[in-house]
Amino acid sequence: GSSAQAVDTSLHGLLPMSELEDAEFDVEDHDGSDDLGGSNDLGGSDDSDLGFSGEALTIEGQVPRFQLGQRLQIQRSENARATVEVFSVDITEMGPKYAIRFDDGTIQSLVAEEDLFA
């Protein structure tokens, strides 16, 4: 109905581009019982497929092993390691992911903890 469309439109300004499609599917897939309240009920279990409540639960217990600005080593090849600096830390459903800066200024993102050595 028109009310679901209004909710959908209001979400466009709030969500990052990558989540817009999920939001649209979420509104269409449900039987209509939560179309009106869905956008206001941020803690609701119905929002878990949008990544809100499920992601928050996963993320709460995660503590990144490395900190911003920390100097680390990364395995570049079988026999070579490079010194890097932690540029940013993102907590994801797949665990902490790091953006690292090499000494030459190159930045590599989405690096897993297991690839870094203190």
Q: Please give the torsion angle defined by the CA atoms of residues 111, 112, 115 and 117, in that order, rounded to the nearest 10 degrees.
A: 100
Find the mean pLDDT for residues 49-73.
70
Q: CA-CA distance, 113 to 102, in Å (whole number)?
A: 16
49 and 78 belong to one structural domain: no
Residues 48 and 91 grouped into a single domain:
no
Q: Which domain holds residue 15?
A: 2-60
**pLDDT tens digits, residue range 86-118?**
999 999 888 999 999 999 999 999 999 999 999
Least-confidence region, from 3-7, 53-57, 75-79, 110-114: 53-57
- The DSSP secondary-structure symbol of 45 reads G
Residue 65 has pLDDT above 90, yes or no: yes
Quick check: is 65 in a domain? no
Q: Which carries the bigger pLDDT value, residue 92 or residue 56?
A: 92
The pLDDT tens digits of the residues spanning 1-28 come to 544 544 555 455 555 555 445 445 445 4
User: With helix as H, strand as E and coil as C, how does 88-115 read?
Assistant: EEEEECCEEEEEEEECCCCEEEEEEHHH
Say yes or no: 40 and 90 in one domain.
no
For residues 52 and 46, give the distance between their C-alpha atoms in angstroms, rounded to a whole number. 10
Q: What is the CATH number of the domain that holds 93?
A: 2.30.30
Do 56 and 75 belong to one domain?
Answer: no
User: What's the CA angle centered on 55, arms 93 and 23, to 5 degrees?
Assistant: 115
